[in-house]
Structure formats: C-alpha cells, structure tokens
Copies of this chain bind each other. A is one copy, B any other.
Amino acid sequence: MKFVIQRDHLVQSVQDVMKAVSSRTTIPILTGIKIVASDEGVTLTGSDSDVSIESFIPKEEEDKIIVDIQQHGAIVLQAKFFSEIVKKLPTDQVEIEVHSSMQTVIRSGTSEFNLIGLDADEYPHLPQVEENNVFTVPTDLLKAMIRQTVFAVSTSETRPILTGVNWKVENNQLICIATDSHRLALRKAPIDLAEDAIYNVVIPGKSLNELSKILADNNEGIEIVITENQVLFKAKHLLFFSRLLEGNYPDTSRLIPNESKTDIVLKTKEFLQAIDRASLLARESRNNVVKLSTIETGDIQISSNTPEVGKVVEEIKSQSLEGEELKISFSAKYMMDALKALEGTDIKISFTGAMRPFIICPINDDSILQLILPVRTY
C-alpha cells in the first residue's frame, strides 16, 4: 500500500472514526484503525464492536486531488499513536507506505515515522445491513431529536434496556422516547417512508451521543436503515453502525397523563434561571429537590431549604395560570435538563396533582414532551 494524502482530510477522517475506538476493548486489533487504499480512495474504519464507523476519503473532490494512490493495500495502525501523529505532522501532504513486513512509514516534510502495523485481514468485518427500507432525516433534525431525548436515558445498568432510546416508526412518523423511570423525554417528527414499514427498536444512548458529535451542522439528509439487530446511519462519505439493545422497551404511553388539573405558562429562560438559583441551596440534600407553589397573585414561587446553609425563595411571573392551587416538589436537575431540551421562549407545564407525573411542552407544539415524576417531601 502506498499513497500521498492531504493532511487535513486525513486528520478529519481519523478524528471521526476514533469516536468508535475504545482503549478498553478486549479484542486487541480493535485498538487499531483499518486503512484501505483502493482505486476510488482511502477508507478508514474504527470500531468497538458496539459502534463501527467508516469514513471514506475520495481520490478527488470538486476537481481537487485529495489522495494519490500509488499502490493498493490495507493495514491496521494503532489508533492512539496514529491519530496523535497525523494531527502533529509538519506539512500539508502526507505519504503513507506499507512495507512487506507490515512496517508502515509515514512521511511528512523531514519527519519520518515507522509504525508496526497489524494485518488488515484480521480486522472484523462490518455488519452486513440489507438496505430494503431506508428513510431519510435531515441532519439538523436528527441531531435535535437525539439532543432532546438522549439525556433522559438511564445511566444505571440495573435495567439495561433503559440505557437506550426507543425509536418507533409508525404511521410515517419517527418517535424517540427515553426514560430512566424518574423522567421521560419524547420527540416525534414526520418522515417519508417508501413502504408502510413499522419499527420498534432501542438504540444505545452512548451510540446516539457519538453519532451526534460526528455529524456536521447542516440540513443534508441522513439515510437510516434499521435491521433486526443493527441500525446504520449513512451520511456523505460516512457510515455509522450501532448494534441495537435486546429486549422489549416498556410501554410508556400509559405514563403520560391525558388530563390536567393545573396549567401554567412560563417564560422558559426566566423559569430555568430561577430553578438553577433555587437548586444552589438544594444541592446538599437528597435528589436536589426544589418546591413549586402557586401563589395568590396567580404567579408561582420556587423555594428550597437546606437547614444548615440557608434557604431561597424565587418568585416568577406566570403568563397564565389555570386550575387548582398546587404545591409540588421535584428534582431541579431533571427540570433543568428538560427545559434545556425544549425549544421556544414559552413553555406550558400541566400538573395533575402533587403526587402525579407532570408534563412540560413548548406552547403550541406537540412534537416534543418532557415528563417528570414529583418527589414526595415530608
């Protein structure tokens, strides 16, 4: 194998596939990045066997030569070293050449690295994904849907299925749901499906976080292919595979109340900042709990109290308040997470009593919903 490549393209591709490489893998060859040089260009692959990322660097783009392939071939190079090296090479052009014994020479200016490579034939094959049913989501929408749900997955392995986000496709709609059993985040969006397919899968939260980091901020379409045990995201020159979590995701629809007894409309930012301040004196106590009360003026009060430190009271103007009086306690952290995930300047919170889950939505937007379970205080 021998090629000369533009350093910035190589650096970007290495950085992308590195997102899948883990130093804690039990399969030694997966600490490496696979590099394949073919007629079309150079393909890099990184994998931790849960997530696999393939990045392709074409020979030419927009009439500019990016790679000059001089000899086909493949090699695996230790990711930790290779990624650091390419970042720090002194010149814009980099030559990579593999000698007979898998000795790999990386040349740039007067800098010359000799790395001991591994046999590319030993590298695991990527999952085979049959592309029968593909649907497309714009990158920015996909990133928003991930951001607005993935924070609510469970971080505990006691119920592994809850560490993933439930993706359902039905009635030409994609619905993403995450819950750790204390709070729930739901986001839906219409999609175009060729056939009337139905999916119900669980994608690891970790995979979605990595995917989100790697995707550019634009509205180009990402093709999504869901199979029995894999999901594949296809962007330009990039393939992102993730295994799916096994097991049935709990039916969350019953959790979401249909009616409400108290509805409050608030300015999102003002409410978020007040919760943030109130949580300062709640941090020490269990669960970071603050109290919300309706007051006579039709506005609301947020308060918290840690006896040895002090207490805080915040008053917030409500845009509207309808229904019963209310005193309810909840985790400030969950509320802040939910508010940060919402878009829009105004939100509506719908309560059905101090002991029942309550929901937070942007006003006039039913595509996103955040649900929080209150905390019983004594």
Any B CB within 8 A of the CB of A78: yes
Determine the chain B residues whose CB is within 8 A of the CB of A315 once the complex forms.
110-111
Q: Which residues of chain A from 265 to 300 have any CB-CB distance to chain B below 8 Å in the complex? A: 273-274, 276-277, 280-281
Instruction: Tell me the minimal C-beta distance from A69 to chain B in angstroms.
Output: 23
Closest to A317 in B: B110
A88-B277, A280-B85 given; A78·B314 CB < 8 A: no
Any B CB within 8 A of the CB of A261: no
A113-B281, A281-B113 given; A273·B90 CB < 8 A: yes
**A81 near B309: Cβ-Cβ < 8 Å:** yes
Any B CB within 8 A of the CB of A120: no
**B110 near A316: Cβ-Cβ < 8 Å:** yes
For A, the interface residue count at a CB cutoff of 8 angstroms equals 30
Any B CB within 8 A of the CB of A115: yes
Q: Which residues of chain A from 181 to 228 have any CB-CB distance to chain B below 8 Å in the complex? A: none
Determine the chain B residues whose CB is within 8 A of the CB of A104 once the complex forms.
310
Any B CB within 8 A of the CB of A311: yes
- Bound-state CA distance A316–B111 (Å) is 9
Residues of chain A touching chain B, judged by Cβ–Cβ distance below 8 Å, are: 78, 81, 84-85, 88-90, 104, 110-116, 273-274, 276-277, 280-281, 308-316
Starting from the known contacts A90-B274, A114-B311, A114-B312, 16 additional A-B residue pairs (CB-CB under 8 Å) come to A81-B310, A85-B277, A88-B273, A88-B276, A89-B277, A110-B315, A111-B274, A111-B277, A111-B313, A112-B313, A113-B310, A113-B312, A114-B310, A116-B308, A116-B309, A116-B310
Q: 7 closest A-B pairs (Cβ-Cβ)? A: A115-B310, A110-B315, A113-B312, A114-B310, A114-B311, A112-B313, A88-B277
A-B residue pairs in contact (CB < 8 Å), sample of 10? A81-B280, A81-B281, A81-B310, A85-B280, A90-B277, A104-B310, A111-B277, A111-B313, A112-B313, A113-B310
